[in-house]
Amino acid sequence: MSYIYGIDGLLFKSSYEALQHQGKKIKPCEQSARVPGGTCNQAIKTYTGTMQGTAVGRHLVPVSQIMSSPVLTISRYQSLYTAWRLLKEANIRQLIVISGKNEAIGVLADRDILQHLNVKDGEVETSRIQPVADVLQAEIYTTDSTSDIRQVAGVMAEHHIDAVAIVDKHRATGIVTRGDILRCFASNPKLNLWA
């Protein structure tokens, strides 16, 4: 299952295949798609069958096996300077930005910060009050912890993103980066046989 969140909340929720067909025109999902007995329920049954090993095709490997968890988060109202310090102290490259309701609304990378801060000899030389919200992208690609690694890798490659937030029950529970995906494929050659 793939999700896209914006600052105002959930914008898209559907399969990886539906995300591919949407391209850059992501629209909020409609309530009518959730009607009992509709096509959404059939997709859920098929996906559940696959997760239980009853569907024919390929062996699924959920992203929960490679995601970093717990995940480091920051509020959209905190400063870029604070975000920079968190990244440096934790020796990581991305933070998940959360709303006041602790919902994931963005992924902030060190390179996003560097476009707005001057760093000389490891020290920030600029205003320390510019908020994280100033540099957030309009959309965030997310998925849940049961999604197949290959599908997450496909979304990341197709949409040129470096990290996907893992969201379960509307809360950020982890993050998967390009590095996580590469390490997974390098250490598990069987994944390539099923792709």
Q: Check residue 11 and give its pLDDT.
A: 73
- Encoded tokens for 121: 């000899």
Under a CB-based contact definition with an 8 Å cutoff, are residues 149 and 62 in contact? yes
Q: What are 14's strand-pairing partners? A: 2
Selecting from 2.40.10.10, 3.40.50.10470, 3.10.580.10, 3.40.50.720, what CATH number does the domain 2-194 have? 3.10.580.10
Predicted local confidence at residue 195, as pLDDT: 41
**Taking a C-beta distance cutoff of 8 angstroms, is the pair 66, 176 a contact?**
yes
Element (DSSP H or E) covering residue 86: helix 80-90
The secondary structure element, H or E, covering residue 104 is: strand 104-109
pLDDT tens for each residue of the chain, 195 residues long:
677 766 666 777 777 667 666 654 444 434 444 444 455 565 566 556 555 544 444 567 888 888 888 889 999 999 888 998 899 999 999 999 998 888 888 999 988 888 877 767 767 666 678 888 888 877 888 888 888 888 888 888 888 888 999 998 888 889 999 888 888 877 776 665 444
Which pLDDT does position 41 carry in this prediction? 60
Q: Is the pTM of this model over 0.85?
A: no
Evaluated on CA atoms 187, 157, 192, 1, the torsion sign reads: positive
pLDDT at 48: 61
Domain ranges for the chain: 2-194
Determine the pLDDT at residue 86.
93
Task: Give me the pLDDT at residue 26, please.
Answer: 43
Which amino acid is residue 42, in one-letter code?
Answer: Q
